[in-house]
């Protein structure tokens, strides 16, 4: 008798093990689509979710055109026909791009020997993220500007970096000695970098003969005194760009259902902190691409150990999950709640009685 009872769970476990072993391959075959049908959804290391795309029927508007250059290995993604390389596209509304470093170098005769003042212009719906990036200068006899266009007007800001000796410089300290940083305003779509020197490096040439300027993702750059010399080998640094889908508000966009970009059922519309237009997001409990019909897919919280809050049994529901307790137990079944308590609930007993 006992032998029989034990055997059933063993077979169930075996079946479960086989199912678990097969799950990754099964799940990998129909991937949750992020791009339109028959559209390239990857370029080298960069995944390309709609509204971005590499051909006309694959992107939402030309602002989201990606050129995948196959002559690189792995292939590299560029914005439109520009030299702005994209290393990451997030459906939360950010792009990570590589932006050129400006430099200004002098020889011992106080003569400028090389100079570059790079610029970028972003297409409509794209703006430089004003909280994640900092305009930064490295040098000991230098000041510089970041200027360009925001909305339909000009802007300019900048800072000064000086020092008298290499000993003045401190690792991690970008406060004016050999390194300075400043924020940029919101809604910037054109960026021009300019470097200037006060004394043509006359007094610092012995230890500093070049200065550098860049708009960089703040977390990707920590100043070190060696950067006075080792930045000469760095051509580009990461910068965060924000994108939005349209040029109107959510309310305006919702009035025209054929052009409204939040296509997935239950997707939500919100206004970004920077730039114009609107963005879409999946509702809580869903993930995927809100810009595609059926793009938002239910998250199976029960399968994810970090989301499964159930003490015993977890049952997935659209947008959420329920916890169940075995027969003879009561409670909310949650690890962060009552859990499952042995015995019928008092209410149940009274009703049953």
Ligand X SMILES: *[C@@H]1O[C@H](CO)[C@@H](O)[C@H](O)[C@H]1NC(C)=O
Interface ranges with ligand X (CB under 6 A): 45, 67, 69, 71, 74, 81-82, 93-94, 105, 107-111, 113, 124, 129, 131-132, 199-200, 202, 209, 221, 224, 226-227, 229-231, 234, 237, 240, 242, 247-248, 256, 258-259, 272-274
Q: Which is nearer to ligand X, 200 or 281 (CB)?
A: 200
- Going by C-alpha positions, the residue among 213, 181, 177, 192 that lies closest to residue 105 is 213
Using the minimum distance from each CB to ligand X, give the nearer residue, 121 or 345: 121
Q: Residue 2 Cβ, how far from ligand X at the closest point, in Å?
A: 52
Minimum Å gap between C-beta 333 and ligand X is 35
- Smallest distance, ligand X to C-beta of residue 248, A: 6
Residue 13 or 256: the one with the smaller Cβ distance to ligand X is: 256
What is the CA angle 84-100-210, rounded to 5? 175
DSSP symbol at 205: T
Tell me how far apart the 2 most distant CA atoms of the chain are, in Å: 102
The strand order across the sheet containing 133-138 reads 112-116, 102-106, 210-217, 133-138, 179-182
In sequence order, what DSSP letters do the residues of 52-102 get, joined into one string?
A: -BSSTTTSSSGGGBEEEETTSSS-EEEETTSS-EEEEEETTTEEEEEEEPE
Q: How far is the CB of 335 from ligand X (least distance, A)?
A: 30
Q: In whole angstroms, how close is the CB of 307 to ligand X at the nearest point?
A: 22
Asked if residues 162 and 176 have their Cβ atoms less than 8 Å apart, the reply is yes
Query: Which phi and psi (to 5°) does residue 17 adopt?
Result: -60, -45
Q: Give least dist CB 131 to ligand X, A.
A: 5
Q: Which is nearer to ligand X, 225 or 295 (CB)?
A: 225
Within 8 A by CB and 6+ apart from 83, the residues are none
Place of tokens 């550098």: 212
Q: DSSP letter at 188?
A: E
CA atoms within 13 A on the CB side of 189: 17
For the bound state, the minimum distance from the C-beta of residue 269 to ligand X, rounded and expressed in Å, comes to 15
Radius of gyration of the chain (CA): 28
Q: Is the Cα dihedral 322, 326, 328, 334 positive or negative?
A: negative
- CB nearer to ligand X: pick between 68 and 324: 68
**DSSP class of residue 48?**
-
Nearer Cβ to ligand X, position 7 or 111? 111
Q: Which is nearer to ligand X, 33 or 248 (CB)?
A: 248
Least separation in angstroms between residue 116's CB and ligand X is 14
> Is the CB of 160 or the CB of 308 nearer to ligand X?
160
**Got the DSSP string for 242-288?**
EE-S-SS-HHHHHT-TTT-S--STT-EEE--SSSSS-EEEPPTTEEE
Tell the smallest beta-carbon distance from residue 26 to ligand X (Å). 23
> Between 221 and 321, whose beta carbon lies closer to ligand X?
221
Spatial separation of the C-alpha atoms in residues 85 and 66, rounded to whole Å: 10
């Amino acid at each position: 008798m006992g032998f029989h009872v034990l055997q059933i769970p063993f077979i169930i476990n075996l079946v479960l093990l086989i199912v678990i072993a097969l799950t990754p391959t099964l799940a990998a075959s129909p991937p949750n689509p992020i791009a339109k049908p028959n559209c390239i959804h990857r370029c080298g290391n960069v995944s390309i979710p709609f509204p971005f795309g590499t051909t006309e029927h694959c992107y939402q508007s030309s602002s989201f055109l990606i050129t995948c250059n196959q002559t690189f290995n792995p292939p590299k993604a560029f914005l439109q026909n520009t030299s702005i390389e994209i290393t990451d596209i997030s459906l939360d509304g950010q792009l990570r791009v590589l932006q050129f470093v400006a430099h200004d170098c002098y020889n011992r005769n106080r003569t400028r020997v090389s100079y570059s003042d790079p610029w970028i212009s972003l297409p409509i719906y794209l703006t430089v993220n004003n909280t994640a990036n900092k305009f930064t200068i490295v040098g000991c006899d230098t000041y510089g500007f970041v200027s360009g266009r925001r909305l339909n007007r000009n802007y300019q800001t900048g800072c000064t970096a000086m020092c008298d000796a290499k000993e003045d410089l401190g690792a991690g300290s970008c406060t004016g000695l050999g390194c300075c940083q400043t924020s940029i305003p919101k809604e910037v779509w054109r960026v021009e970098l300019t470097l200037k020197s006060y004394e043509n490096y006359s007094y610092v040439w012995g230890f500093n003969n070049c200065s550098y300027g860049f708009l960089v993702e703040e977390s990707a750059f920590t100043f070190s005194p060696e950067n006075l010399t080792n930045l000469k080998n760095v051509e580009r640094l990461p910068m965060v760009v924000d994108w939005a889908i349209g040029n109107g508000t959510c309310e305006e966009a919702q009035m025209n259902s054929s052009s409204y970009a939040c296509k997935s059922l239950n997707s939500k519309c919100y206004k970004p902190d920077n730039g114009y237009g609107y963005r879409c997001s999946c509702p809580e409990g869903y993930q995927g691409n809100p810009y595609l019909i059926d793009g938002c897919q239910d998250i199976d919280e029960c399968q994810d150990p970090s989301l499964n809050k159930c003490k015993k049994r977890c049952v997935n529901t659209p947008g959420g999950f329920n916890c169940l307790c075995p027969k003879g137990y009561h409670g909310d079944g949650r690890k962060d709640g009552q859990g499952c308590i042995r015995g019928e609930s008092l209410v149940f007993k009274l009703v049953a009685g």
